[in-house]
Amino acid sequence: MAPRSVLVTGANRGIGLGLVTTLLQNEKIEIIIAACRNPGEAEELKAIKDNRLHLVKLDAICDKSIEAAFKEVEKLVGEKGLNLLINNAGIYVKYPIDEPPKRQELARQFDTNTFGVVVISQIFLPLLRRAAVALGGDDVSVDRSAIVNISSGAGSIGNNDRGSTPVGLLAYRMSKSALNQFGKTLSIDLTGDHILVASFCPGWVQTDMGGQKAELTLEDSMRELVPSILRLQKEHSGGYFNRNLQPIPY
Ligand code: NDP
């Protein structure tokens, strides 16, 4: 089994692009929606020739853009709804505690990594509910209806023994901890809807954000992360995992 339809945010580069290209290798997935801020400039996505792939404009910090994306996605998935929403879009805002306070920078960090995910999940919820109803039964799985949040190990409070190191990670860590709380809370709130919610750390990956010194190539991360996402079952809902589906302490 596999989800019929998947939407990935921030899909034009880095981990989002890796998720899309790796998911396309799974022939059971019928519809893959690559959402990004500027589809017209997404050269790598546009170069992919696969009629299962659809590019949709979505800016995680603009509600009108998310609502417009919802309408486009609704047309693509139809009565069967959206099976899997992967909230991947994210930014890193350097925030050292010893510099003058910059409230706007804190807000910018949270707006994308946390509030953006909340609003996208809220706006797309009717399509996830539609998918859950369309398949029916008591099953809870990624094939039926699921939200996956791409978090970070940096969001773990339990594992935090390095403070803000590397210097400036403070606001990013906080935004991902709050994202994890959102995922856990939502998993409970949506139990009756049979919608699974889980958070993942993809590892430290060579992307624009991760930098070229990161320990994993994009391919290394995707080889483990994508099969883990596609294995999600009821027992994983509310979980926070590394790319091998091993739990991370909240
Ligand atoms: P990149 O900086 O390489 O890519 C970020 C992606 O997010 C881009 O597609 C970017 O689009 C998109 N994005 C940023 N802001 C918005 C927005 N407002 N609306 C829509 N899209 C947006 O980062 P990664 O690929 O490395 O990171 C992806 C996710 O993985 C993030 O959530 C990150 O926190 C997480 N992560 C990454 C790790 C790593 O080592 N790389 C480690 C742990 C977690 P655009 O091109 O338009 O800017």
Q: List, for residues 3-32, the tens digit of each pLDDT value.
A: 999 999 999 999 999 999 999 999 999 999
- Helix/strand/coil (H, E, C) string of 65-102? HHHHHHHHHHHHHHHHCCCEEEECCCCCCCCCCCCCCC
Considering the entire predicted model, what is its pTM? 0.99
pLDDT in tens, 151-196: 999 999 999 999 998 889 999 999 999 999 999 999 999 999 999 9
Q: 25: CA distance to ligand 1 center in Å?
A: 22
Mean pLDDT of the chain: 97
Q: With a 6 A CB cut-off, is 37 part of the ligand 1 pocket?
A: yes
Give me the DSSP letters along 171-216.
Answer: HHHHHHHHHHHHHHHHHHHTGGGT-EEEEE---SB-STTT-TT-SB
ipTM over 0.85: yes
Tell me whether residue 101 is exposed, middle or buried, using C-beta atoms within 10 angstroms of its C-beta: 0 to 12, 13 to 18, 19 or more: exposed
149 three-state secondary structure: strand
Sign of CA dihedral 164, 203, 161, 176: positive
Pocket-testing residue among 17, 44, 91, ligand 1, by greatest number of atoms within 8 A of Cβ: 91
Which tokens is 109 given?
A: 């960090």
DSSP letter assigned to residue 245: S
* Cα–Cα distance, 171 to 177 (Å, whole number): 10
- Find out whether the beta carbon of 61 lies less than 6 Å from any atom of ligand 1: yes
For residue 167, the model assigns a pLDDT of 82
Closest CA to 129 of 52, 54, 77, 201: 77
What's the token pair of residue 47?
A: 């170069």
pLDDT at position 95 is 97
Sheet hosting strand 84-87, strand order edge to edge: 53-57, 31-36, 5-9, 84-87, 146-150, 196-200, 240-241
For residue 122, what are the contacts with CB-CB under 8 A and spacing of at least 6? none
- Looking at ligand 1, which residue's alpha carbon is closest to its atom 34? 90
d(CA 168, CA 42): 30
